[in-house]
Amino acid sequence: MSRLPNLVRYSELALAAYARLETFIINWSALTPADLAQSQAIRFASDWRLVDQFQHTTEPFWTYDPETGTPSGPYAESNGCSATVFENVLSHERVLAIRGTNDVHDIATDVISVAALGSTRNQGQYQSLRTKVQEWVASGVLPAHFAVTGHSLGGFLAIGLALEFPQLVEHAYLYNAPGIGGLTGRTSIAEIARAYHISGASVDPAKFTNLRAKPGTSLVAGLGEHPSPPILVEGEDHGGWLVGTNNHSMKYLVDSLAIHDAFERLEGGASVGLASIGRIVRDTRQPSDPGVRTPSN
């Protein structure tokens, strides 16, 4: 059975996490500022309901020294953490979607926690997130077992949850997410063991799906080591200030996955595979020839 429909579904949830939502029945117009196309937003709003959305404001949180574990705090200013629980209208599945970088607080997390510390364990956003997730599970907002999805910083935070709470997180879907270790030079297994007080044998790669846009330079997704090997998703090259850096955008990765899914549907729903479809996408991507239309056209 093809896994592409699931990858598309969880990618759209990761993108929808960028929206500010207020009502149980989602208004599709609230999704377009998060870069969902109108048709995507209308379909998403008919398929999913909002259960709860957390935007950190002044709730106290602590940070921890990466070497000694000594707590520092409490701090009360916003750390930028944002997470949403969605429920599928038909299946009633509830999914945790974590927003990626969206403001100055997230940028601080990217630079300090992702690159320098290489772990979620010691930074404010993750501390606020783990506290909220435990509250949601205790109150029934989240079930005892759930999937988590996130783009970029959101995926990095999702890794932390899946590692620290394997009894809760059934699967983590990571989209252009940095790995563990950052620029520290520590291996993923050593960093995981140090930060989460678990053994390397406790890390199950099968619990992670790690997707990365191709082509482009992976300045963020290329950081650190991942709990599972990256799955490369071919798409159009959207350029950027460095070769392909704009391809990090979740919007473009969602579009690329939708193109792959459409190709597979043209094959009658058979599981063609990302690699095979990727070759078709790559072969039709000829920006030097203005007469050639790319797949998304």
The model's confidence at residue 272, banded by pLDDT at 50, 70 and 90, is low
Higher pLDDT, 88 or 124: 88
User: What pLDDT, on a 0 to 100 scale, did the predictor assign at position 288?
Assistant: 44
**Residue 2: pLDDT band with limits 50, 70, 90:** low
Can you tell me the distance from the alpha carbon of 83 to that of 53, in angstroms, rounded to the nearest whole number? 6
Lowest average pLDDT, out of 26-30, 66-70, 105-109, 177-181, goes to 105-109
Give whole-number Cα distances, 51 to 25, 136, 227, 262, in Å. Answer: 9, 10, 29, 30
d(C-alpha 252, C-alpha 2), whole Å: 21
Residue 105's pLDDT is what? 46
pLDDT of residue 279: 58
Nearest residue to 28 via CA among 12, 8, 9: 12
Is 4-284 in CATH node 3.90.228? no
Write the pLDDT tens digit of every residue in 166-210.
899 999 999 998 877 654 555 555 556 555 555 444 678 899 999
Q: What pairing do the DSSP bridges indicate for beta strands 71-75 and 61-64?
A: antiparallel
Collect contacts of 202-206 with beta carbons under 8 A, ≥24 apart: 202/166, 203/163, 203/227, 204/166, 205/229
Burial class (CB in 10 A: 0-12, 13-18, 19+), 165: middle
Residues with Cβ within 8 Å of residue 25, at least 6 apart in sequence: 45, 49, 50
Task: Give the mean model confidence (pLDDT) for residues 254-265.
Answer: 85
Quote the pTM value: 0.82
